[in-house]
Structure 1
Amino acid sequence: MSNTTAPSTAAPAVSAAQDTGARTAEAADVITGARERIDALDARIIGLVQERMAVSEVIQRERLASGGRRVHLSREMEIIEHYSRQLGRPGTVLAMTLLELSRGRV
């Protein structure tokens, strides 16, 4: 009988500090807490985007039912300008993405 053991196939444990990129346990704790907050904010943002899409669908449905067009370009420009003023160039991209998500679902 041999006393050799088979090599372990389990992955080595990664400490919280390594997982966060932090160099200390204290920094890892701060980063972990902040990441949890970001995850919660992201969940709220996604929920708000979905709510925005639903409201936009109501507007589009009413506009089409009354003989109007699905998209109101001057309103979209107002939205893009608002996001751009508040967030700069990335705000423009964000506004355009939100409009794309909300457009044409009816």
Structure 2
Amino acid sequence: MTTHTATTEQTGARTDEAAALIGDSRERIDALDDRIIGLIQERMAVSAVIQEARISSGGRRVNLAREMEVLGHYRDALGKPGTALAMTMLELCRGRI
């Protein structure tokens, strides 16, 4: 198999130029995904601090009004799929309930 065939098969592109563009863009997406994962991990740590403070002061672990604000923020910024994304993020940040 030639390099051209391997590159176009891996990217689905029909030209070397398109395959190169797709390859470069995928590298960018991978780097962005790494940053997003790091930011979510950071958010999880901050959320744990908030939960601990709330619980130690006699409050509940989860503040549903705040979660609704977060859901609205993501929905407003990203549309309906933003709500699902925010729900997943909130689930990750709650830890075990």
Both proteins in one fold, TM over 0.5: yes
Does the 8 A contact of 1:57 with 1:105 survive in 2?
no
Of Structure 1 and Structure 2, which has the larger fraction of its residues in helix?
A: 2
Ranges of 4+ aligned residues in structure 1 off by more than 2 Å:
none
- After superposition, residues 20-35 of structure 1 pair within 5 angstroms as 20-35=11-26
Structure 1: how far apart are the matches of 2:96 and 2:40? 14
Structure 1 position 63 matched with structure 2 position 54 = yes
Could you tell me which runs of 5 or more consecutive residues in structure 1 were left unpaired when the two chains were aligned. Answer: 1-11
Give the AA of the match of 2:39.
Answer: L
Identity %: 64
Give the AA of the match of 1:54.
Answer: A
RMSD: 1.4
Offset at residue 105 of structure 1 (A): 4.6
Query: Normalising by structure 1, what TM-score?
Result: 0.85
Bigger Cα Rg? 1
Query: Normalising by structure 2, what TM-score?
Result: 0.93
Q: SS of 1:71's equivalent?
A: coil
Could you tell me which runs of 5 or more consecutive residues in structure 2 were left unpaired when the two chains were aligned. Answer: none
